[in-house]
Amino acid sequence: MSSTRELPATPAPTASSGIKGKSVRRGDTVFRGLSRIAGIAILLTMSLIALFLVWRSIPSFTVNTANFFTTSEWFPDQTPPVFGIAALAFGTLMTSIIAMILAVPVGIGVALFISHYAHRRMSAILAFSTDLLAAVPSIIFGMWGLEFLTPHMQGLGQWLNDYLGFIPIFRNDLGQYSKSIFIAGVVLAIMILPTISALSREVFTQVPRGNIEASLALGATRWEMVRQAIFPFAKPGMISAAMLGLGRALGETIAVALILSASNSINWHFTEPGGNTFAANIALRWNEAGSTGLSALIASGLVLFIITLVVNVVARGIISRHAEFRGGN
Amino acid sequence: MAKRIDVADLDIYYGSFKAVENVTLAVEPRSVTAFIGPSGCGKSSVLRTLNRLHEVIPGAYITGKVLLDGEDIYSADVDPVNVRRTIGMVFQRPNPFPTMTIRENVTAGLTLDGARRSKAELEQVVEKSLRGANLWDEVKDRLDRPGAGLSGGQQQRLCIARAIAVEPQVLLMDEPCSALDPISTLAIEDLIEQLKLNFTIVIVTHNMQQAARVSETTAFFNLPAIGQPGRLVEIAPTEQIFSNPGEQATEDYISGRFG
Domains within chain B, CATH numbers bracketed: 5-95+169-254 (3.40.50.300)
Cross-chain Cβ contact A229/B97 below 8 Å: yes
Contacts of A260 (CB under 8 A, 6+ apart): A91, A179, A180, A181, A184, A274, A275, A276, A277, A280
What digits encode the pLDDT tens for the residues B119-150? 888 999 999 999 988 899 999 999 999 998 89
Q: Which helix (H) or strand (E) holds A48?
A: helix A26-63
Contact A281, A300 (CB under 8 A): yes
Measure CA of the first residue to CA of the last residue in chain B; give whole Å.
36
Contact B125, B107 (CB under 8 A): yes
Burial class (CB in 10 A: 0-12, 13-18, 19+), A42: exposed
Task: Give CA–CA dist B251/B259, Å, rounded.
Answer: 11
Query: A87-324, which class in CATH?
Result: mainly alpha
Q: Mean pLDDT of all residues in chain B?
A: 90
pLDDT of residue A8: 56
Q: Please tell me which residue of chain B has the smallest CA distance to A236.
A: B99
Residue B144 zone, left/alpha/beta (φ > 0; ψ -120 to 50; rest): alpha
In a mutagenesis test of the A interface, which of B52, B54, B79, B81 is the best target, namely the one with the most A β-carbons within 10 Å?
B81
Cross-chain Cβ contact A213/B99 below 8 Å: no
DSSP class of A147: I
More confident position, B192 or A79: B192
pLDDT of residue A176: 81
What digits encode the pLDDT tens for the residues B37-68? 998 899 999 999 999 999 888 889 999 999 99
Residue type, A23: S
What digits encode the pLDDT tens for the residues A203-228? 999 999 999 999 999 999 999 999 99
Contact B40, B85 (CB under 8 A): no
pLDDT of residue A150: 87
The answer, yes or no, to whether residue A187 has pLDDT greater than 90, is yes
Pairing type for strands B32-36 and B17-27 reads unpaired
Is the complex ipTM higher than 0.85? yes
Task: Give CA–CA dist A192/A246, Å, rounded.
Answer: 8
Q: To the nearest 10°, report the CA torsion of A182, A187, A191, A192.
A: 10
The answer, yes or no, to whether residue B31 has pLDDT greater than 60, is yes
Structural domain boundaries in chain A: 87-324
What digits encode the pLDDT tens for the residues B91-124? 999 999 998 999 999 999 988 866 778 888 899 9
More confident position, A245 or A24: A245
Cross-chain Cβ contact B88/A218 below 8 Å: yes
Task: Give CA–CA dist A115/A198, Å, rounded.
Answer: 10
pLDDT of residue A322: 57
Min Cα–Cα distance to chain B from A60, Å: 50
More confident position, B218 or A159: B218
Q: Mean pLDDT of all residues in chain A?
A: 87
pTM of model > 0.90 = no
Return the number of other C-beta atoms located less than 10 Å from residue B157's C-beta.
28
The answer, yes or no, to whether residue A278 has pLDDT greater than 90, is yes
In a mutagenesis test of the B interface, which of A218, A226, A235, A321 is the best target, namely the one with the most B β-carbons within 10 Å?
A218
pLDDT of residue A191: 92
Nearest residue to A204 (alpha-carbon basis) of A243, A244, A231: A231
Confidence of residue B3 (pLDDT cuts 50, 70, 90): confident
